[in-house]
Amino acid sequence: MFFKGCPLHCRWCHNPESIPSAFGKEWIKQNCIACGACAEHCPEGAVRLSDQGVEVDPERCLECGTCVEGCPADAMKPLGKERSVESLHKELVRDKAYFGAEGGVTFSGGEVLMQADEAARLAALLKGSGIGVAIDTAGFAPWDAVAKLVPHSDLFLYDMKLDDEERHRAFTGAPNALIKENLVRLSDLGMRLWIRTPVIPGATDDIDNITAIAAFLRDRDIKFERWELCAFNNLAKDKYARLGLDWPFRDAPLMKKAALDAFVAAAAASYGKPAKILWTGMTQREEHHE
């Protein structure tokens, strides 16, 4: 389940539609019948129809929703919905058999911690119904927000993107001291933790960054069950195009397996204690040499 709104702006974000708290909308080219109703009825004159399709000027758009409601072809779609905690609980409980004993619901985003009160209420209801809850978070929030989720969650999937504060700020728009501190506190409380590091070309994919994160985890005695190095993929390319957003990673290739193996080896060596450290995701098709 994805929560809207995120305080970070990671340049590689795979869910750009989740960054703004406002719902926003996307234009689906293959559905559009070029009727022009959206441009005609937009009170701000923010919509333009051209040979390229429908373009919305983000500077003029006030997110009034008129173009979404008036589109006869389901081509202008809202990116999100306001939902009550109770209605979500009711819907999710219907899938309880599907989740099984080991599964459950993952709260992701966006950033769950921006809606910590609602998320905690929903997590408590789900737990009360016998459904597990995992929190997928970047950890950039006051501790009070994190603490609200702790009693009602089984697992935190916690991002450690960049160890260096300045580089973290440059690539995500925020410092990382609070993120690190919250992780230490979660670990000290005995919360189950999966650490995740996105391995992004030109951003996080250097040995120094990986070994520095390993040293932090070791030195602060973070007790994690596993640490995943998540290989970059460019599957968000089409989504960025639909949203009319530029994406600097549009043409970045998948990583090579050998490079990911080397990051895992460096992480393990720097961490220096037995731990489950692995890479996940897709890689380039390997060339085979005789």
> Where on the chain is the footprint of ligand SF4 (CB under 6 A)?
27, 32-38, 42, 44, 46-47, 54, 56, 61-67, 71, 73, 75-76
In whole angstroms, the minimum distance from the beta carbon of 48 to ligand SF4 comes to 10
Report in angstroms the alpha-carbon separations of 109 from 15, 80, 126, 128, 246: 8, 11, 18, 23, 20
**Backbone torsions φ then ψ of 255, nearest 5 degrees:** -85, 165
Nearer to ligand SF4, 58 or 103 (CB): 58
270's enclosing H/E stretch is helix 257-271
Nearer to ligand SF4, 68 or 114 (CB): 68
162/261 Cα distance (integer angstroms): 19
Nearer to ligand SF4, 68 or 162 (CB): 68
Nearer to ligand SF4, 52 or 101 (CB): 52
In whole angstroms, the minimum distance from the beta carbon of 34 to ligand SF4 comes to 5
CA dihedral 258, 263, 265, 269 (to 10 degrees): 160
In whole angstroms, the minimum distance from the beta carbon of 71 to ligand SF4 comes to 3
Residue 164: DSSP 8-state: S
What does the buried/exposed string (b/e) look like for 207-241 if buried means 16 or more CB atoms within 10 Å of the residue's CB?
eebbbbbbebbeeeebebeebbbbbbbbebeeebe
Residue 12, both tokens: 């590689």
Residue 255: DSSP 8-state: B
Tell me the H-state helices in 115-234: 116-128, 143-149, 165-172, 177-188, 207-219
Residue holding tokens 């009360």? 128
Nearer to ligand SF4, 32 or 207 (CB): 32
In whole angstroms, the minimum distance from the beta carbon of 68 to ligand SF4 comes to 7
Q: Is 46 helix (H, G, I), strand (E, B) or coil?
A: coil
Nearer to ligand SF4, 242 or 257 (CB): 242
60/44 Cα distance (integer angstroms): 6
In whole angstroms, the minimum distance from the beta carbon of 1 to ligand SF4 comes to 25
In whole angstroms, the minimum distance from the beta carbon of 19 to ligand SF4 comes to 17
In whole angstroms, the minimum distance from the beta carbon of 16 to ligand SF4 comes to 17
Nearer to ligand SF4, 49 or 178 (CB): 49
